[in-house]
Structure 1
Amino acid sequence: MKFIDLAKAKYLVAVVLMCTAGSSFAGSEAFKPGTQIKEFGKIASVDTAVAIPKNTKFKIVFDVATTGDAGTVNRKFDSLARFINMHVANGVKPENIDLALVVHGKATLDVQNAAAVEAKQLGENKNIPLLQSLLDNNVKIYLCGQSAAFYDVKTADLYPGVDMALSAMTANALLQQQGYTLNP
């Protein structure tokens, strides 16, 4: 069995401590409500040397195909609120943030109004307050018509402000032609 001498062990401990001294491992408690959308999109402060240029404008589409867990807000939808909150907190003007949400696949179920969800006995749509907050912050929301047909979702079933597109592919293509980039 090989042993490390005490001097080397102390040296290794000192190196590890120096390397981690400035690190912060705060975890989920570091995330706080933002100022733009207070109920959703919690953010953490980040010390960074890379500043966002003054007058930056964002035109981004978020493509979401997965539903949230039953009885919870769709985490992917919440990402739009987080994007808005963290950029406003770092000096981007709200009017310079132009986001779109393209919904398809199982996420189709997350953009239905309360009456449609109740009629289909799906429980409560916890996304409704978040959808309203996104719409209040000028987020455009599109539902894939092909997914809507598959899940038997009619235009009347949609939360007010959600638009039916021919397809998610069509919505994404048209938004890209308008200068939107796709959030990976």
Structure 2
Amino acid sequence: MNKFLLIVCCCTCFLNPLFSQNTEVKNSPDKKVDDSITAARKDSVKWAKLASLAYFPLIKAGTFSGVLPVEGVDEIPSPKRQYKLLFEFTLNFKDSTHEKLNPGLVEIARVLNLHVASGIPISHIHPVIVVHGPSLFSIRNNGVYQSEYKKDNPNSQLILDLMKNGAKFIACGQAMNFLDIKKQELYPGVKVSLTAQTVLSNYIGQGYVWYGISEENK
């Protein structure tokens, strides 16, 4: 019995280093890096292929605003209905807001593109964009951007395109006070409400479908 225990113990001691070494290889930082690089390469190839297929039936605001073609679609929304869309827009990256399009505005453009691609006339789509929180920085006018960054607001053309296609922008006055943003600093045509909260309850009460455009929902 003692000999048997000794053999088992010796085998266990011998195998443990091998087992540990194998586990360390599998979980080594180098292997994790290699796996992430491989995954990134696969994703980049996939995204490049998808980007080449994307089309823009209404607004072109970069690759991520595009629509991918789908075969065999047999669930089609009625083109006769009125589509009332309420976007609660709070997403913003303040440090890069002067450098590139706000991804939240791009997502709103994508939603409109998807509706049009589904056969809904733009005249039947009624977007309302409630802007509060840090997203207010992305809808300031070119004069403010020129003063602060020596360049136009990179979102200005997209905001104009959205407005031309019926989008109504409403800024939250409470958030404007908190962030020290004046009405005259906003992009021309943006409305101001006392608070985003009453805008949300007002339009939801009218049957608008709510979309959350935020860091959590992106």
Q: TM-score, normalization: structure 1? A: 0.78
Give the match's secondary structure for 1:46: coil
Write out per-residue CA displacement over residues 21-67 of structure 1, whole angstroms, 9 at most, x where no aligned residue. Answer: xxxx9535424241222345221112333222241321011111121
Q: Which residue of 1 aligns with 2:70?
A: 46
User: Tell me, which stretches of 5 or more residues in structure 2 are unaligned?
Assistant: 1-44, 213-218
Given residue 55 of structure 1, which amino acid in structure 2 is its aligned partner? Answer: K
CA offset at residue 133 of structure 1? 0.3
The reply to whether residue 103 of structure 1 matches residue 125 of structure 2 is: no
2:108 paired with 1:74: no
Tell me how far 1:84 sits from its aligned partner.
1.6
Letter in 2 for 1:100: V
Per the alignment, residue 88 of structure 1 pairs with 116
Q: CA separation in 1, counterparts of 2:156 and 2:193?
A: 20
Distance 1:66 1:54 in 2: 30
Structure label with greater radius of gyration = 2
Between structures 1 and 2, the one with greater helix share: 2
1:26 and 1:119 map into 2 onto residues whose CA distance is: 40
Residues 39 and 159 of structure 1, relative CA distance in 2, 3 Å threshold: same
> CA-to-partner distance for each residue in 1:117-163, whole Å, 9 max, x for gaps?
23344864211111000000010101111111112111111101111
Identity percentage of aligned residues:
26
Alpha-carbon distance in 1 for matches of 2:200, 2:189 = 18
Q: 1:65 aligns with which of 90, 93, 101?
A: 90
Count of residue correspondences: 160
- Structure 1 residue runs without a partner (length 5+): 1-24
In the superposition, the TM-score normalised over structure 2's length comes to: 0.66
The AA in structure 1 aligned to 2:66 is K
Q: Give the stretch that moved more between structures: 70-79 or 116-125.
A: 116-125
